[in-house]
Amino acid sequence: MRDTKHTSMGRGTRAVVTGAMGIALAATVLSACSSTPKAATNTPGVTSNSISIGATVPLTGPAAPGYDEIAPAMNAVFGWVNAHGGVNGRKIHYTYLDDGYNPANTATLTRKLVLQDKIFADVGSLGTPTQAAVQVFLNTQKVPQLFIESGCDCWSNPKYPQSYGWQPPYTVEGKILGAYIKTKFAGKKVGYLTQDDEFGQDFIKGLDQEIPSASVVSRQTYDAATLAGPLSNQVAALKAAGAQVVAMATIPAATALAMLPAAAIGYQPQYVISSVGSDPPTVGPLLSSFTQKGGGTAAQATATAGLLNGVITDSYFAPESEVSNPWVQVEKKLLNDYAPSLYAKYGLDGNTQYGVALAYTFVEALQAAGKNLTRAGFLASMANSGKNFVTPGFVPPSYSNSVHFGFEGAEVIKLSSATSPAVTPTGSWIGGTPVTSVEVTDTGSGPVTKYTGATSTPPKTLVATS
């Protein structure tokens, strides 16, 4: 009886549902076929009073945590710029689309941005495999692929003149941290725990240039795509090999999934972690599960501070815990004024700082390009004046005709419960203090040397309004 009732109901409903779907699909196809009209200038994405840029970033999916904060933080800077008349009279319109960290999606969405939406440049797109998938396309189309959010050393390649990195290459970080290990922990046994892709491989390349190979007793890896639980086996192997120092190229999730089982078996090596996976407000909550049954924020903070205390990492701009630093203060103000919901949710953490710093760099580059804006001219002025850009970074970007890397310098910092913490809406997280001065190096075999240039301070007025 119940079955026939379903049958007769089913047929009518079936028709309605399929009809609706068919219409919806047709409507989608038709609407997608319309291309947005663009201003009739020679340079795509540029009018006399606006500039359109775009990016593809992971807003959903397992790769989204943390990284989905960057693009909205960039919009805070662009909001400030637009409220003050824009750069050279042009307001910045930033469109970022969700590619879910899938390079096939990146390929489609980037083509949409370039061919249909006619952006001026692809600015601040995230990921090595995703951006590698569109590098050829963007270079063939002569669209600048600016400030790629990845530390791969493949972004500075004369074959692809449109592509530019921004954050320090993983090799540079590896060399700086490796040099620190070589001097401070001479003679100790060193173990590596790295992601088994470009990130880890480039980081190891840097470490191996500094750390004598005889000191490296264990090289463990993990695969980000199949990361299901704690890296207990890798930690057990490091302990069995007797590693007293563990150098890590890990994303924040993996950092926590390594430190937790290590703490469980009482293994407490000296951790030296890449800046990618060491930001306390990002890693901290992941470590809080080490507390029992909740325990509230106090116990959480204690447990986290306990696990992260003494961790060595690197930073290429002033960390969020240095509350008296003028850049930190400016960053907080920008986010609070122009991205209030983002700031209320995350505060100033490593990701929002990254976004603000990257956007600053773009604004500097846009200003240097002048009123008469073309893609070629923009890149030429970056090569000429890149080294003069004022950004939150400790060192100026290395942009030149031959080098397309951004920051190639950082300082080594130590997380310590003795320093003032970084306070965000989610809690109070251990702060860091520098243990070296700012150091610079390259992705090749050059040495790690002390940076002797000037430190930047935030300018009073950032942009020319005419």
Kindly tell me which of 38 and 182 has the beta carbon lying closer to another protein.
38
CB of 116 to another protein, least distance (A): 4
Closest CB to another protein among 159 and 460? 159
Cβ at position 297, least distance to another protein in Å: 9
Rounded to a whole number of angstroms, the minimum distance from the CB of residue 322 to another protein is 22
Q: Are 353 and 212 in contact (CB under 8 A)?
A: no
Of 93 and 345, which CB lies nearer to another protein in the complex structure? 345
Tokens of 284: 């901290």
Q: Which tokens is 174 given?
A: 């590896």
CB proximity list for 197: less than 8 A, separation 6 or greater: 128, 129, 224
Contact present, 356 and 383 (Cβ < 8 Å):
no
Shortest distance, position 11 Cβ to another protein, whole Å: 7
The smaller minimum CB distance to another protein, of residues 400 and 426, is found at 426
Nearest-angstrom CA–CA distance, 268 and 166: 34
Cα distances from 180 to residues 14, 198, 226, 273, in angstroms, run: 68, 22, 32, 12
Q: State the pairing for strand pair 91-98/50-57.
A: parallel
Rounded CA-CA distance 12/17 in Å is 9
Collapsed DSSP state (helix, strand, coil) of residue 349: coil
Q: Could you tell me the smallest distance in angstroms from the CB atom of residue 385 to another protein?
A: 30
Please tell me the distance from the alpha carbon of residue 337 to that of residue 324, in angstroms, as a whole number. 19
> Given the complex with another protein, which of 257 and 358 has the nearer CB atom?
257
DSSP secondary structure letter of residue 114: I
How far is the C-alpha of 367 from the C-alpha of 81, rounded, in Å?
Answer: 11
In the complex, what is the shortest distance from the CB of residue 193 to another protein, in angstroms, rounded to a whole number? 11
Please list the residues that pair with 19 across neighbouring strands. none
Measured over the CA atoms of residue 35, residue 40, residue 45 and residue 49, the dihedral's sign is negative
Q: Residue 59 or residue 383: which is nearer to another protein going by CB?
A: 59
In whole angstroms, how close is the CB of 339 to another protein at the nearest point?
Answer: 10
* 22 versus 447: smaller Cβ distance to another protein: 22
